[in-house]
Structure 1
Amino acid sequence: MSTGSKRAGDDGGERRKEDARNDGSLDPERTRDRLESMRGALRTERRRLVDERQAFGAFRKRLSEIDPGQPPTGRSAGSRVVGTAPARSVSPGLVAVRDAYEETVMSVPHYAEDYDDTYPESLEAEFGAGMAAALTRGSALDPSLKRELSGAAGRLRENRDAFVGTLDTEASSLSARSDRLLELDAELQGIANAEFGDMDFGALDAHRARIEALRDRCEEDVRERQETIHEQRRELRVPGDSPDVPRYLYREQPARHPILSMLADRIDRLDALRSTVETAMARR
């Protein structure tokens, strides 16, 4: 979902269990720590996308200043452009494109940590094999190639911008669900610590009604969260076999969709508490 393909393809959730019953805790501190870890991952990804958005904008500006009309100079720059390819004459335009790309897109602070691609690898991941070949195996930067490259760089910048907007929506969703989860945990703790055996039927019935109300709220949160995830997929046009936004952002979490998993755990706990209350009511 950002520069290159390495980081976007790392779906750690595929290797982790998504059993909701192993995912939750009524310890507010543990819940708070997990939520803060998710917020940290989101902040980091947003910062990186902003860096990449700016880098593609800077690359496109640099590209606009490059003269595509100069023929090859006779300078043996092939090894500089293609790595191990035989030395050959290339135009100053192609050399300038490489310099501009390396000094913008390949110079974002997280580039080596996340991608560590070579120049040809990065071009292929971002622009496709055809464009990469033209820029690394061709001999000149002709005007049509420059226009195509500029248009593609503009689209890549727009893609990053769109993803930043999606992450802002995700931040709002995460904030809302986080507050609800922490409130829910506090209520669940209070109900779980109640002495049902000492209560009369009316008090037990009141607890059952509160449990059902909390469960309904959890179900509503699940529906809203699922709608947010589906909307994110539509906005970003994520293919069906690719990780969606939560799976991509929160891949270090023990569940693919941690908010949904935590909500499912709370629903299970509420169901267990309701069963306990109803058993006590039957004995009255």
Structure 2
Amino acid sequence: MTLAQGSWPTYTDAVLDSVRRERREVERECRAFQRFRQCIQTVETQAPRFERSVVGVNQSLTSAEKSVRDTIEPWYRETVMAVDHYGDVYGDSFEASLSAEFGMDVLLLISEATTFSPLIKQRLLEATQQCIDNRRVFLETLEDEFTTLKDAQSTVQEIREAIAELDSTELQALSDTELIDRYDTLHTLNDKCQSWIQQRQEEIHAHRIDRSADADAYTDLCSYLYEDLEVDYPVLGTFVDILEIISQYE
């Protein structure tokens, strides 16, 4: 069995599935935040009776009082935390989720306030819109990644076909001109791999993930998307492996 017929790196097949899955999840999250935002928009605001956070009054809500959180939390759970993948991907509490997405200050604000003031409504609308915008930007990044992976997959197939053609001819049967053509072909294939490796390294440095408002959630795109695969950087790994295959023909 020749190298062209045997084992070739197939990382791109698995990573395409990962990107498809991530894209579906982010789209669901966008829709969930949009539904949550629609709930906020329906609220009729009232003038606040006092600002706990400003005056620093350490008071507890009486049994007759309800905080803004009592209104917000069910909506958040029924929308954002109700997406199918929430438990597997996040699996956190309401407090942890809202703090990560909106900030701890917003969580404290809705927990202490008993009046749904215009300020609170505006803060929630803005924070929710930011979550939606972050995910829309991330979806564009995922689309770019998907296109890149498809292009890489096509290049791998082209190289494999070229190697298969080289395999079909015995070296001893080649003329000097054909040997030069063979060398030129291998050189071209090598250049393609090197070009992909350089391009991919630049993309890795340029692409970061912003799926959450939590600064600690930032990481490079590949290690985030492909953490469950055997390699963190599958496109790089693919073309490094192919370079090794090409070297066996030189």
- In the superposition, the TM-score normalised over structure 1's length comes to 0.71
Q: CA deviation at 1:134?
A: 2.2
Residues 26 and 189 in structure 1, CA contact (< 8 A), matched pair in contact too = yes
Of residues 235, 243, 249, the one that matches 1:259 is 235
Q: Kindly provide the amino acid, as one letter, of the partner of residue 13 in structure 2.
A: E
CA distance in 2, matches of 1:215, 1:56: 47
1:135 aligns with 2:110: yes
Q: Kindly provide the amino acid, as one letter, of the partner of residue 24 in structure 2.
A: R
1:153 aligns with 2:120: no
Residue 51 of structure 1 aligns with which residue? Answer: 28
**Structure 1 alignment gaps of length 5 or more:** 1-24, 73-84, 275-284
SS at match of 2:44: coil
Residues 1:194 and 1:242: Cα distance change in structure 2 (over 3 Å): farther
Q: CA deviation at 1:102?
A: 1.0
Residue 57 of structure 2 aligns with which residue? Answer: none
Q: Kindly provide the amino acid, as one letter, of the partner of residue 270 in structure 1.
A: I
Residues 193 and 243 in structure 2, CA contact (< 8 A), matched pair in contact too = yes
Q: How does 1:228-267 map to 2 (within 5 A)?
A: 228-233=203-208, 242-267=218-243
CA distance in 2, matches of 1:234, 1:100: 27
Residues 28 and 185 in structure 1, CA contact (< 8 A), matched pair in contact too = no
Residues 210 and 218 in structure 2, CA contact (< 8 A), matched pair in contact too = no
CA distance in 2, matches of 1:120, 1:89: 23
**Structure 2 alignment gaps of length 5 or more:** 50-59
Residues 1:165 and 1:144: Cα distance change in structure 2 (over 3 Å): same
CA distance in 1, matches of 2:70, 2:218: 35
Q: CA deviation at 1:233?
A: 3.7
Q: CA deviation at 1:194?
A: 4.4
Of residues 136, 140, 151, the one that matches 1:176 is 151
CA distance in 2, matches of 1:207, 1:30: 21
1:105 aligns with 2:80: yes
How far does the alpha carbon of each residue in 1:117-160 deviate from its partner, in whole angstroms, 9 at most, with x for none? 11111111111222122223544433212211110110110001
Q: Kindly provide the amino acid, as one letter, of the partner of residue 164 in structure 1.
A: L
Residues 1:158 and 1:39: Cα distance change in structure 2 (over 3 Å): same
Residues 91 and 141 in structure 1, CA contact (< 8 A), matched pair in contact too = no
Residue 186 of structure 1 aligns with which residue? Answer: 161
SS at match of 1:273: coil
Residues 68 and 110 in structure 2, CA contact (< 8 A), matched pair in contact too = no
Number of equivalences:
235
Q: Kindly provide the amino acid, as one letter, of the partner of residue 36 in structure 2.
A: F
Q: Kindly provide the amino acid, as one letter, of the partner of residue 214 in structure 1.
A: L
Moved more, 135-144 or 58-67: 135-144
Residues 70 and 92 in structure 1, CA contact (< 8 A), matched pair in contact too = no
Residues 52 and 105 in structure 1, CA contact (< 8 A), matched pair in contact too = yes
SS at match of 2:248: helix
1:116 aligns with 2:91: yes
Residues 1:95 and 1:51: Cα distance change in structure 2 (over 3 Å): same
Residues 32 and 83 in structure 2, CA contact (< 8 A), matched pair in contact too = yes
Q: How does 1:80-91 map to 2 (within 5 A)?
A: 88-91=63-66
CA distance in 2, matches of 1:234, 1:133: 27
CA RMSD of aligned residues (A): 3.2
